[in-house]
């Protein structure tokens, strides 16, 4: 990234509007984030919302869920109207406050214990090695379609015990639903996202009916756990059950796909860091943390002020929407030395890629495991892999990743 001049930075900060972004921003948003953080860290947007780019401000909002609500029943009505997308996003875990959020999160977390996640590792290794074997035969691979996206679909499919023969539509449904979270939404995106929710719900009704007849092990099968609820406690309504199954599949799929894809592309762009990882595979854990910080899969979060308050010395009126720029916070020089340098040995590395506080990602340990196995084994298996042509960006600002990334797999020792 080329640092912006003072004049350029001033223009970038002044003209920034999340609803109107140019191709250069999608390719590399970090010059804009740096300009905003330096000049307008609490940016008042043309629509009256606030956009935060400093680590300390983003973390402060995460720390205070009472003042800054995650509930989207008011904010999403103008955007989605009375659509299936509105029903989904206002019912799912991530866009709710306690007590609904607490109840659903407890049920999901109960099936994602350290023991349960550790038990997934052998199957995950077999899955990754099978994908790598197939790639070796071809000599090339699309990092996204043939590798990164295939892993979380299988893992989350296994968590909900979705039959293998029924998993094909999951990725397209997920992309359509999450794509409708973009700040600026076209009619086509709205229609596609709503159709995906409706089709997903229809499928899940049938799957839930089958699981009610033949329950799985609630210690490992998240769907059975959600159906049965906590012993002696509240059970989820049918709408909560169905919409949070969609949320689990979406949340576990898209961000992990991006983490794996972004990680392998970034390592290719920083060859000395890739060589360090190849020379010392034990660095994979810290390498994944740096991938999470450097190219955060989820770049934006949203809150709504519930009372008159202030952020970073700026007055905030009750009802003001607040956008938390995770991608900018994770490149804040106040928190990270040389933030634009990719360093797999970075320590400490207290990034916000998984959020913070009560809304911290419930599946973060699983995502880390998937990334460690996928990235670590790919780098060791194909030490001389190289990007073959221009990658295709995902074209979204909230979820940063690639739609396609062709890679040539050179055998070890080849120049």
- The whole-angstrom separation of Cα 354 and Cα 95 is 15
Contact 101, 358 (CB under 8 A): yes
Q: How far is CA 205 from the centre of its chain?
A: 26
Q: How far apart are CA 364 and CA 360, in angstroms?
A: 8
Q: Which of 358, 362, 368, 361 is closest to 113 using CA atoms? A: 362
Residue 415 pLDDT? 45
> How large is the C-alpha radius of gyration of the chain?
21
Residue 313 backbone zone (phi > 0: left; psi -120 to 50: alpha; other: beta): left
Cβ within 8 Å of residue 270, ≥6 positions away: 342
The structural domains of the chain, with segments of one domain joined by +, span 6-12+37-408
Q: Which pLDDT value is given to residue 218?
A: 86
**Cβ atoms 52, 59 nearer than 8 A:** no
Instruction: Give pLDDT, residue 261.
Output: 97
pLDDT value for 231 = 67
pLDDT score at 409:
96
**pLDDT recorded at residue 1:** 43
Note whether 109 and 102 are within 8 A (CB).
no
What pLDDT score does 114 carry? 86
Show the beta-strand stretches assigned E in 249-370: 300-305, 309-311, 314-316, 321-325
Instruction: Per residue of the chain (415 residues), give pLDDT as tens.
Output: 445 577 789 999 999 999 999 999 999 999 999 999 999 999 999 999 999 999 999 999 999 999 999 999 999 999 999 999 999 999 999 999 998 899 888 888 887 888 888 889 999 999 999 999 999 999 999 999 999 999 999 999 998 999 999 999 999 999 999 999 999 889 999 999 999 999 999 999 999 999 999 999 888 888 998 899 866 667 888 999 999 999 988 888 889 999 999 999 999 999 999 999 999 999 999 999 999 999 999 999 999 999 999 999 999 999 999 999 999 999 999 999 999 999 999 999 999 999 999 999 999 999 999 999 999 999 999 999 999 988 899 889 999 999 999 999 975 455 4
Tokens for 384?
């001389």
∠ CA 47-49-55, rounded to 5°: 145
CB contact at 8 A, 104 and 233: no
Domain 6-12+37-408 has CATH 1.10.630.10: yes
- Judged by DSSP in three states, 256 sits in helix
């Amino acid at each position: 990234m080329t640092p912006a001049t003072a004049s350029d930075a001033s223009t970038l900060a002044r003209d920034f509007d999340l609803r109107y972004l140019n191709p250069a921003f999608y390719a590399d948003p970090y010059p804009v984030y740096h300009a905003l953080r330096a000049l307008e860290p609490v940016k008042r947007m043309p629509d009256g919302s606030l956009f935060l780019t400093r680590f300390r401000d983003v973390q402060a909002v995460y720390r205070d869920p009472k003042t800054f609500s995650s509930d989207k029943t008011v904010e999403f009505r103008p955007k989605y109207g009375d659509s299936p997308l509105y029903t989904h996003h206002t019912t799912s875990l991530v866009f709710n406050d306690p007590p609904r959020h607490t109840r659903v999160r407890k049920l999901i977390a109960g099936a994602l214990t350290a023991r349960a996640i550790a038990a997934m590792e052998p199957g995950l290794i077999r899955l990754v090695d099978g994908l790598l074997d197939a790639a070796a035969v071809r000599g090339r691979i699309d990092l996204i379609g043939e590798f990164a996206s295939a892993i979380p679909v299988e893992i989350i499919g296994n968590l909900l015990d979705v039959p293998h023969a029924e998993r094909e539509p999951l990725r397209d449904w997920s992309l359509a639903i999450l794509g409708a979270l973009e700040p600026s939404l076209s009619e086509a995106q709205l229609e596609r996202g709503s159709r995906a929710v409706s089709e997903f719900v229809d499928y899940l009704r049938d799957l839930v009916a089958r699981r009610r007849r033949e329950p799985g092990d609630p210690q490992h099968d998240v769907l059975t756990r959600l159906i049965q609820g906590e012993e002696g406690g509240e059970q989820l309504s049918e709408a909560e059950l169905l919409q949070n199954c969609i949320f689990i599949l979406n949340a576990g799929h898209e961000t992990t796909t991006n983490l794996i894809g972004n990680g392998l592309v970034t390592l290719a762009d920083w060859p000395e860091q890739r060589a360090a990882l190849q020379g010392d595979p034990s660095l994979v854990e810290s390498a994944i943390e740096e991938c999470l910080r450097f190219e955060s899969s989820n770049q934006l979060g949203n809150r709504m002020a519930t009372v008159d308050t202030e952020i970073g010395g700026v007055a905030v009126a009750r009802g003001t929407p607040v956008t938390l720029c995770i991608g900018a916070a994770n490149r804040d020089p106040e928190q990270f030395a040389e933030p634009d340098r990719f360093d797999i040995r970075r320590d400490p590395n207290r990034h916000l890629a998984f959020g913070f506080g009560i809304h911290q990602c419930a599946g973060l340990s699983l995502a880390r495991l998937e990334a460690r196995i996928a990235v670590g084994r790919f780098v060791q298996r194909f030490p001389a892999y190289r990007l073959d042509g221009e990658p295709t960006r995902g074209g979204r600002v909230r979820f940063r990743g690639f739609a396609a990334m062709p890679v040539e797999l050179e055998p070890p020792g080849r120049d």
